[in-house]
């Protein structure tokens, strides 16, 4: 599972649902490796359970789900998480008009499967309020509504950006602005689900639309100079070839073809496939080792790809001794790069002799800089130097050429 997928499971509700689905549907385990695929499977399982409980066909419940997605987008646009009394009446009226009476008769059981039920006091009465269960689930449902519109508009005139048109229309309806970058930032959580939903349901439509989605991501990445967000559609579509080709095409139209910068562990899953197609002149990777230790094999593959497919590679790793000391030694993980910088933080791990390398250098980089931040007394300085130099061998320049290693120790006194 990638990093974004695991964040879903930090919510007890979804952790429980995921475990239930994992046990009841073992054949789906390979289908739940991305955030979108987890939500798609949870939705399908939910509809099946409601159908078993109420006797309503899954086809009718799918139509109910369309209305639910529409209201999720409406509420997301309005920054609302609860149904007001007026919302409930309007929703009930839509169901009456669009679906058979049996669905309306089971309104409460269906709604309680889709929403959290909160009891709140209004005057002297206790009323039930329907609430979206989680911001991420609301974003997923809102993205589904946009996907419905994308599919319905698949025969549009070429040259239009249907995704931007839809979110602009939604924002305008609620009195919002129409600046593309502001809209992207506002709807980013929703947009991140669109490629995965279309990949799982309407792959041909995805391939017709993905360049328009990438346009929004590239524009945002150019503004911030950090390019991890570009990889979201690739992750959610499991490195679909046409999605990767679309991303490469968009990046080549911009300055990103020359210099790219990635800082999030999720990039480790995509870069080995992306870099051979893009071949940027310069790539900068910056990771915190505590976030990368569970991705060591992906780190190795990414570095190999970066070295072979870019003229200049810079890697910066920040680590803590307590993390490194718990790791077994790894072989042939770090390959030669032009510039390798490591910030080593001591957060209270005293037994420096037990420090183990989380990786080894198969060939020295041209330049290796070590920066050690310590909170101990100055007399420990030489001991620290000895340990770190044993861990990361110092390479001396020969004839003014070759590799160098710099070790800088910063001392901090405790208050």
Least confident of 188-197, 259-268, 383-392: 383-392
pLDDT score of 155 more than 60:
no
Which of the two residues, 106 and 369, has the higher pLDDT score? 106
Question: What is the C-alpha end-to-end distance of the chain, expressed in Å?
Answer: 42
In this prediction, residue 23 carries a pLDDT of: 79
Burial classification of residue 187, based on how many CB atoms lie within 10 Å of its CB (0-12 exposed, 13-18 middle, 19 or more buried): buried
In this prediction, residue 142 carries a pLDDT of: 97
pLDDT in tens, 31-55: 777 889 888 988 998 999 999 999 9
DSSP reduced 3-state for 181: helix
pLDDT score of 300 more than 70:
yes
Task: Spell out the residues 6+ positions from residue 390 whose beta carbon is closer than 8 angstroms to its own.
Answer: none
DSSP state of 175: T
In this prediction, residue 64 carries a pLDDT of: 97
Which of the two residues, 406 and 343, has the higher pLDDT score? 343
In this prediction, residue 334 carries a pLDDT of: 65
pLDDT score of 147 more than 70:
yes
Burial classification of residue 30, based on how many CB atoms lie within 10 Å of its CB (0-12 exposed, 13-18 middle, 19 or more buried): exposed
In this prediction, residue 203 carries a pLDDT of: 94
Instruction: State the pLDDT confidence band at 400, using cuts at 50, 70 and 90.
Output: very low
Closest alpha carbon to 280 in 316, 308, 245: 308
Contact indicator for 173, 225 with CB cutoff of 8 Å: no
Contact indicator for 193, 241 with CB cutoff of 8 Å: no
Mean pLDDT (whole number) for 212-222 = 91
Report in angstroms the alpha-carbon separations of 92 from 49, 81, 89, 144, 337.
Answer: 22, 18, 5, 21, 62
Which of the two residues, 126 and 415, has the higher pLDDT score? 126
pLDDT score of 163 more than 60:
yes
pLDDT score of 381 more than 90:
no
In this prediction, residue 15 carries a pLDDT of: 76
Q: What is the mean pLDDT of the chain?
A: 82
pLDDT score of 116 more than 80:
yes
Q: What angle do CA 344, 349, 355 make, to 5 degrees?
A: 65
pLDDT in tens, 173-185: 555 567 888 889 9
Mean pLDDT (whole number) for 50-67 = 96
Contact indicator for 364, 337 with CB cutoff of 8 Å: no
In this prediction, residue 174 carries a pLDDT of: 58
Contact indicator for 234, 244 with CB cutoff of 8 Å: yes
What is the token pair recorded at 348? 């209270």
The sign of the dihedral angle between the CA atoms of 239, 243, 247, 253 is positive
pLDDT in tens, 318-339: 877 777 666 655 555 567 788 8
DSSP labels, 335-363: PP-SEEEEEEE-SS---GGG---SS-BSS
DSSP reduced 3-state for 67: helix
Mean pLDDT (whole number) for 97-123 = 88
Other beta carbons within 10 angstroms of residue 63's beta carbon come to 15
Which of the two residues, 11 and 316, has the higher pLDDT score? 316
pLDDT score of 396 more than 80:
no
Mean pLDDT (whole number) for 343-369 = 68
**Helix pair 35-54, 194-201: axis angle to 10 deg:** 60
Helical H segments across 227-372, by residue range:
232-236, 241-252, 267-278, 289-292, 296-309, 321-324
Contact indicator for 162, 114 with CB cutoff of 8 Å: no
pLDDT score of 402 more than 50:
no
Q: Give the percent of the chain with pLDDT over 90.
A: 43
- Give the whole-angstrom CA distance, residue 142 versus residue 167: 11
Residue 146 — φ and ψ, nearest 5°? -65, -40
Contact indicator for 38, 8 with CB cutoff of 8 Å: yes
In this prediction, residue 397 carries a pLDDT of: 41
Helical H segments across 78-179, by residue range:
85-98, 101-105, 107-114, 135-152, 162-173
Mean pLDDT (whole number) for 126-134 = 84
């Amino acid at each position: 599972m990638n990093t974004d997928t695991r964040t879903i499971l930090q919510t007890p509700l979804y952790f429980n649902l995921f475990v239930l689905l994992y046990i009841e549907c073992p054949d789906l385990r390979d289908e739940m490796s991305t955030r979108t695929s987890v939500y798609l499977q949870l939705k399908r399982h939910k509809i099946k359970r409601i159908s078993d409980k109420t006797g309503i066909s899954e086809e009718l419940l799918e139509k109910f789900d369309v209305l639910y997605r529409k209201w999720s987008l409406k509420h997301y646009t309005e920054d609302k998480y609860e149904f007001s009394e007026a919302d409930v009446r309007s929703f009930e009226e839509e169901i009456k008009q669009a679906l058979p009476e049996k669905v309306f008769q089971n309104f409460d059981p269906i709604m309680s499967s889709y929403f959290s039920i909160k009891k709140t006091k209004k005057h002297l009465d206790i009323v039930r309020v329907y609430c979206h269960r989680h911001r991420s689930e609301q974003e997923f449902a809102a993205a589904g509504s946009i996907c419905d519109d994308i599919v319905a508009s698949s025969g549009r005139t070429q040259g239009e950006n249907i995704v931007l048109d839809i979110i602009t229309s939604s924002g305008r309806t609620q009195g919002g602005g129409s600046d593309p970058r502001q809209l992207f930032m506002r709807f980013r959580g929703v947009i991140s689900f669109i490629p995965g939903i279309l990949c799982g349901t309407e792959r041909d439509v995805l391939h017709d639309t993905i360049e328009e989605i990438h346009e929004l991501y590239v524009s945002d990445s150019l503004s911030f100079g950090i390019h991890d967000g570009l990889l979201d559609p690739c992750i959610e579509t499991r490195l679909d070839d046409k999605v990767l080709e679309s991303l490469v095409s968009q990046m080549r139209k911009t300055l990103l073809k020359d210099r790219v910068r990635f800082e999030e562990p999720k990039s480790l899953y995509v870069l080995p496939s992306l870099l051979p197609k893009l071949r940027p002149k310069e790539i900068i990777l910056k990771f915190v080792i505590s976030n990368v230790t569970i991705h060591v094999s992906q780190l190795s593959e990414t570095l190999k790809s970066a070295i072979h497919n870019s003229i200049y590679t810079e890697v910066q790793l920040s680590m803590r001794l307590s993390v490194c000391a718990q790791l077994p030694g790894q072989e042939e993980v770090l390959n030669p790069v032009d510039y390798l910088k490591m910030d080593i933080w001591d957060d209270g791990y005293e037994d420096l002799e037990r420090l183990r390398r989380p990786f080894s250098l198969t060939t020295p980089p041209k330049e290796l800089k070590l920066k050690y931040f310590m909170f101990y007394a100055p007399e420990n300085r030489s001991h620290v130097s000895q340990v770190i130099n044993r861990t990361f061998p110092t390479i001396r320049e020969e004839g003014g050429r070759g590799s160098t290693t710099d070790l800088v120790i910063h001392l901090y006194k405790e208050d």
